Amino acid sequence: MKKLIIKEYLKNLIVAIVASILLSATLCFVFFFLNNSVDNDMPQYLVRNIIPHISRTQTGISLNEEGKERLQHHNVWLQVLNESGEVVFEENSKGDLPNEYTMLELTNVVMNSNRLGNYTVFMSDIPEMAGYAILLGCDSKLVSKYTFRFSGETAVVLFGCILVVSIVTLLVVLCASYVFSKKITNPVGDIIDNIDKVQKGERIEYHTSEDNKLFANVFESIEKLEAILKQNDILRAKWIVNISHDIKSPLSTIKGYSELLYDQEYEYSSDEIRTYAEQMLKSEERIRELVEDLKMSNSLIEGKITPTLESVDIVEFVGRCISNASAFYVHDKNVQLENNCKSKSEIDVKLMERCITNIICNAFVHNDTDVEVRISVTESENNTYIRISDNGKGMSEEDLSKVFERYYRGNGSGKTEGTGLGLAIAKEIVLLHGGQIDVTSNPGKGTVFTIRLLNHAN
């Protein structure tokens, strides 16, 4: 988009410069030169170049060979007049010239083209031959004379031209700036209106025009943002329904056992009270986990959590994570840890433990009880890789593309309880450590999560 704006600016600048030059030149000509005479004393070099080749002899006037060649070369005729206006010498003419001129005739033919046939005539005296003058003529199609009248001093005209150029340039720049600003401000106004509509949840309108084409990418981004926000609203509404159900279930349990214990008509045994209390505590723990997930997710997104790093043995650390997740698998053979390295990484133990435990637990929560989880720890020159794979149901392409989105619960989750934040939290924790997490999956063949962390020397 920046390139398009620069291109548009340069186009307007070039048009403004060309317009300024043409308009200034036209106005200067009209105001200062049109129908104005210019006193011009420019040397008539065509005449003066031939004068050195003319000489006076006892028999009259002569022109040397070099002079004749010059006349022939330039297709110019020559006449020499005496003080009475009579032609005393003529060269390279076609016989269509007068033999005598009056003062008025000389004035007319010299001042204007085509006053003597189709010729333009130049006149000059001969310094070495007092009383004689020469006329030099050529085809007026090749050389013509134009008369300009010049009023005032040169400085006045120069000042006037500068003033005209300045005024014209200013006006052209203002017009170009206005045109360019309209091309920018009009679509920007539309962009602001559309953003305001997106904020209010209203439908945006995109009108195709030449101006809007300059910001086509911005309008497309706004449309994509609108679609994403609508999708997020749908996911959020769905998540609210799910989270409400997940909170309502343990609350119903707590309320039910509380009402039983409150019943004064029945005396409960110690074992019954203990059983009821245990179920109430589990329900309270479930609610607390939901609240903690929400707090953790928001804190990670807003950057409010600073990791406390310490160097740990990754294999030993993963082993502790497996133990923490033991409540979710039936027996030890369900989880296998491959120890292929002794790398160390600087991690926040508490956060990373939650990340890996979430992924391990997910494998058992969303698959059958006989699912097997294999965890391997490998290292390269600069990185440590933790791969957590299972042979469970796998995920569809849709679930795979949204697996790390907040509030998203896959289509295969069924009635499984959860906030839909577990894997989103796991990803944010890995990113907080400067690492990377990827996932691959095939329906019916299982899922593989790969976590990359920076390793350190032992």
What tens digit of pLDDT does each residue of 371-405 get?
Answer: 889 999 988 878 899 999 999 889 888 888 888 88
Handedness of CA 350, 355, 360, 362 (dihedral sign): positive
* pLDDT tens digits, 131-186: 899 988 888 887 777 765 555 555 666 777 778 778 878 887 777 777 766 666 66
- Position 322 pLDDT exceeds 80: yes
pLDDT band at 17 (very low <50, low <70, confident <90, very high): confident
Residues 176, 13 contacting (CB under 8 angstroms): yes
Q: 10-14, 20-24, 173-177, 404-408: which has the minimum mean pLDDT?
A: 10-14
Q: Mean pLDDT over residues 40-69, rounded?
A: 78
- Residue at token pair 């039983």: 260
Report pLDDT for 75. Answer: 87
* pLDDT tens digits, 211-257: 555 566 666 777 777 777 777 777 777 777 777 777 787 888 888 88
Amino acid at 448: V
pLDDT band at 271 (very low <50, low <70, confident <90, very high): confident
Handedness of CA 193, 197, 202, 207 (dihedral sign): positive
Q: What is the SS3 string spanning the chain?
A: CHHHHHHHHHHHHHHHHHHHHHHHHHHHHHHHHCCCECCCCCCCHHHHCCHHHEEEECCEEEECHHHHHHHHHHCCEEEEECCCCEEEEEECCCCCCCCECCHHHHHHHHHCCCCECCEEEEEEECCCCCCCEEEEEEECCCCCCCCCECCCCHHHHHHHHHHHHHHHHHHHHHHHHHHHHHHHHHHHHHHHHHHHHHHHCCCCCCCCCHHHHCCHHHHHHHHHHHHHHHHHHHHHHHHHHHHHHHHHHHHHHHHHHHHHHHCCCCCCCHHHHHHHHHHHHHHHHHHHHHHHHHHHHHHHHCCCCCCCCEEEEHHHHHHHHHHHCHHHCCCHHHEEEEECCCCEEEECHHHHHHHHHHHHHHHHHCCCCCCCEEEEEEECCCEEEEEEEECCCCCCHHHHHCCCCCCCCCHHHCCCCCCCCHHHHHHHHHHHCCCEEEEEEECCCEEEEEEEEECECC
pLDDT band at 447 (very low <50, low <70, confident <90, very high): very high
* pLDDT tens digits, 102-130: 988 888 888 888 888 888 888 888 888 88
Chain mean pLDDT for the chain: 79
Report pLDDT for 155. Answer: 63
pLDDT band at 458 (very low <50, low <70, confident <90, very high): very low
pLDDT band at 438 (very low <50, low <70, confident <90, very high): very high
- Residue at token pair 């769905």: 238
Report pLDDT for 39. Answer: 37
